Amino acid sequence: MTDLFWPGDERAGDLFTEHAWLAAMVAVEQAWADALAGAGVAPAAADLSGLVGAEDLPALARAAEGGGNPVIALVGLLRERADGPAAPWVHRGLTSQDVVDTALVLCARDTLAQVRADLRHQVAALSGLARAHRGTVMAGRTLTQHAVPTTFGLRAAGWLGGVLDAADALDRPRLPVQIGGAAGTRSAVVDLARASGAADPVAAATDLVAGAARRLGLAAAAPWHTSRGTVTALGDALVACTDAWGRVAADVATLSRPEIAEVAEPAAEGRGGSSAMPHKRNPVLSVLVRRAALAAPPLASTLHLAAALAVDERPDGAWHAEWATLRTLARRTATAASQTRELLAGLRVDADRMAATAEGAREGLTAEARAITAFTGADTRAEPVGGALPLGAADALIDTALARADRFLDTDPPETDT
């Protein structure tokens, strides 16, 4: 998939494309059919594999307008094309929202997995930068002005902490199925279980939901038709990532300015040029990552607004606003994850330039240390006057960040079905 309006979108691959969503909806229908058949409620489970594909997308998209969602037309196609007596059982007991919501969760799970993989590479790259440059002195800057001495290793450790926070946020969303029937009561499922002779139809209905969830690798859950915390949690986790990467990109873009020139993006054929100025080497990766960081929060706010306006047992428009919003946020986050991974893996650090800038600003950078000396009456600096610049607890802070990173990298990615 490509998008001229969002350069780099192809990095997200098939995540949250129309085809991926269609496949996810069919997977939900298949899991439910299998659950019904496995419990003896349906005589057999229709094999839905290969019944619909990319060639059906235009017709399904057109038909979706009639019912406000694509499931109605999809179910019609599946029942029409399925073989045998199992065909009428397709979708039986479900409602459109069950299929849409569960399919969105499946698409989100794939996105989280890809972003999580990129995060692990980012953590490894940042750990390497923090270790390699723990002694690379640079001017610390606050409110755009020189402040006190720091090291690029500590700057990288700060980026590392943000990326690790994002990784923690990515692991928080729960990934449940949504199976509640027409109005969240599961009445049709209970009726089907009763008709099949179940001694406890309600318990049987609960078991059916659990069976479908297990087949999809998702968590069984009570219906969440108008409790949209699942969706907002996904949005918040994705924005936590773009926030962290935006900070990195903003720093790289600033430090790569010609008048600073302390870092540079990795070089690549055809990247960073200008249509008018042949001398330009623009920090394009940083620019595009910052773009994602700026655009992501409004998308998450749309999800929260939709959650706040979820009424009755199925929202009239608020639910519908979520689909494209979550898709856009997910693809843009996956794209930014890949771009940030590449940026950090090839980041070039000019330690000599950093040292020269810090030395040239020595008078200002040591002003705080002189003020402390004047206040206490004793020279509190470990370094002699005119020697190495004071760096406080920089080494210890780097060690703390690296220890956290090592624990993260030594831990297997979490399971996604709870």
Note the pLDDT tens digit of each residue in 6-27: 999 999 999 999 999 999 999 9
Phi, psi of 69, rounded to the nearest 5 degrees: -160, 165
**What local confidence, expressed as pLDDT, does residue 380 receive?**
60
314 is catalytic: yes
**Residue burial 390-409, b: 16+ Cβ < 10 Å; e: rest:** bbeebeebbeebbebbeebe
**What local confidence, expressed as pLDDT, does residue 384 receive?**
44
Residue 85: CB partners within 8 Å, gap ≥ 6?
A: 43, 44
pTM for the model stands at 0.94
- Rg over alpha carbons for the chain, rounded to the nearest Å, is 27
338 is catalytic: no
Catalytic residue (choose from 215, 290, 314, 327): 314
**What local confidence, expressed as pLDDT, does residue 418 receive?**
42
Amino acid making up residue 364: G
3-state SS of 285-299 is: HHHHHHHHHHHHHHH
**What local confidence, expressed as pLDDT, does residue 377 receive?**
85
**What local confidence, expressed as pLDDT, does residue 83 receive?**
84
Q: Which residue has the tokens 């960073």?
A: 272
**What local confidence, expressed as pLDDT, does residue 414 receive?**
65
Domain boundaries, the chain: 9-409
**What local confidence, expressed as pLDDT, does residue 417 receive?**
47
Pairs from 189-197 (Cβ < 8 Å, separation ≥ 24): 189/93, 192/36, 192/41, 192/92, 192/93, 193/39, 193/41, 195/41, 196/39, 196/40, 196/41
Q: For residues 158 and 150, is the Cβ–Cβ distance under 8 A?
A: no
Residue numbers in the chain where pLDDT is lower than 70: 270-280, 379-387, 414-418
Catalytic residue (choose from 172, 274, 348, 407): 274
Identify the DSSP state of 263: E
CATH number of 9-409: 1.20.200.10
**What local confidence, expressed as pLDDT, does residue 415 receive?**
61
Per-residue pLDDT reduced to its tens digit, 131-181:
999 999 999 999 999 999 999 999 999 999 999 999 999 999 999 999 999
Helix, strand, or coil (residue 147):
strand
